[in-house]
Structure 1
Amino acid sequence: MSVITDWTPEKARAFTRANLAFEHGLHERPMFDDAGLESLLDRYPRDKLGVFTMGHDPVDWQSWRRGSAGDLSGRQLLNAAKEGRIWLNLRHANDYLEDYAALEAEVFSEKTERTGVRTFKRDLGVLISSANAQVFYHLDVPLVSLWQVRGQKRVWVYPVAAPHVGPEQLEKIVLRETAEQMAFQPAFDGVAEVFDLTPGKMVTWAQNAPHRIENGPMLNVSLSMEFMTPAALMRANVLYANAVLRKAGARPSVQAVPHPGALAKIALARAVKVSGMSKTFDKSLPTTFTLDPARPGVPVDLAA
Structure 2
Amino acid sequence: MTVHRPIAADSGAIFPPQAIADFGAAYPDRPASLSHNMAGHPLLTLDALAALAERMPATSVEYNLGKLPLGVQPEDTPSNGLTLGETIRTIESNGSWAVLKNVERDDAYGALLDGALAELASTVQDRTGPMLHREAFIFLSSPGSVTPFHMDPEHNILLQIMGVKTMTVFPARDEDLVPAQKSEDFHGGGHRNLVWQDGFKARGTAFRLEAGDAIHVPVKAPHFVENGPTVSVSLSVTWRSERSVAEGELHSFNALLRKRGLPTGRVSERPERQGLRRFAYRIMRKLGA
Considering the TM-score relative to the shorter chain, is it more than 0.5? Answer: yes
Map of 1:20 onto structure 2: 32
Aligned to 1:209: 221
Contact 2:47 2:89 in 1 (8 A): no
Indicate the residue corresponding to 2:87 in structure 1. 77
1:148 aligns with 2:157: no
Separation in 2, partners of 1:227, 1:258: 16
1:90 aligns with 2:128: no
The question of whether the paired residues in 2 share the 8 Å contact of 1:171 and 1:239 is answered with yes
2:249 maps to 1:237: yes
Q: For 2:96 and 2:58, how far apart are their aligned partners in 1?
A: 16
Are 1:186 and 2:198 an aligned pair? yes
Normalised by the length of structure 2, the TM-score is 0.84
Quickly say closer, same or farther: Cα 1:217–1:43, change in 2 above 3 A: same
Does structure 1 retain, via aligned residues, the 8 Å contact 2:69–2:148?
no
- Cα offset, 1:112, TM superposition: 0.4
Distance change >3 Å, CA 276–CA 52, structure 1 → 2: farther
The one-letter amino acid of 2:50's match is E
Q: TM-score, normalised by structure 1?
A: 0.80
**C-alpha contact (below 8 Å) 1:147/1:202 kept by paired residues:** yes
Structure 1 Cα separation of the partners of residues 286 and 78 of structure 2:
33
Cα distance per residue 1:141-175 (max 9 Å; x no partner): 22222111011111111122131112222122112
Report the secondary structure of 2:39's partner residue: helix
Give the match for residue 171 of structure 1: 184
Aligned-pair CA distance for 1:223 = 1.1
Aligned residues: CA RMSD:
2.3
Equivalent residues in 2 for 1:1-304 (5 A)? 1-5=12-16, 6-7=18-19, 9=21, 11-46=23-58, 48-61=60-73, 63-66=76-79, 70=83, 74=85, 76-95=86-105, 97-116=106-125, 117-160=129-172, 161-176=174-189, 178-248=190-260, 249-255=262-268, 256-257=270-271, 259=273, 262-277=274-289
Percent of residue pairs identical: 19
Q: 1:295 corresponds to which residue?
A: none
Indicate if the aligned counterparts of 1:147 and 1:222 stay in contact, CA closer than 8 A.
yes
Q: CA shift at 1:140, angstroms?
A: 1.3
Distance 1:171 1:112, change over 3 A: same
Aligned 8 A contact 1:21 1:203 in 2: yes
Q: Structure 1 regions of 5+ residues with no counterpart?
A: 278-304
**1:240-293 Cα distance to aligned partner (Å, 9 max, x none):** 21222222321321133564xx2122223333444554xxxxxxxxxxxxxxxx
In 1, Cα distance between equivalents of 2:153 and 2:285 = 16
Quickly say closer, same or farther: Cα 1:198–1:9, change in 2 above 3 A.
Answer: closer
Q: Structure 1: how far apart are the matches of 2:123 and 2:13?
A: 10
Equivalent position amino acid for 1:138 in 2: H
Distance 1:159 1:114, change over 3 A: closer
Matches of 1:91 and 1:276 in 2, distance apart?
31
**8 Å Cα contact 1:89-1:125 kept in structure 2:** yes
Change (3 A) 1:108 1:273: farther
CA distance in 1, matches of 2:43, 2:73: 32
> Aligned partner of 2:111: which letter?
A
Aligned partners of 2:20 and 2:120 also within 8 Å: no
How many angstroms apart in 2 are the aligned matches of 1:151 and 1:23?
A: 15
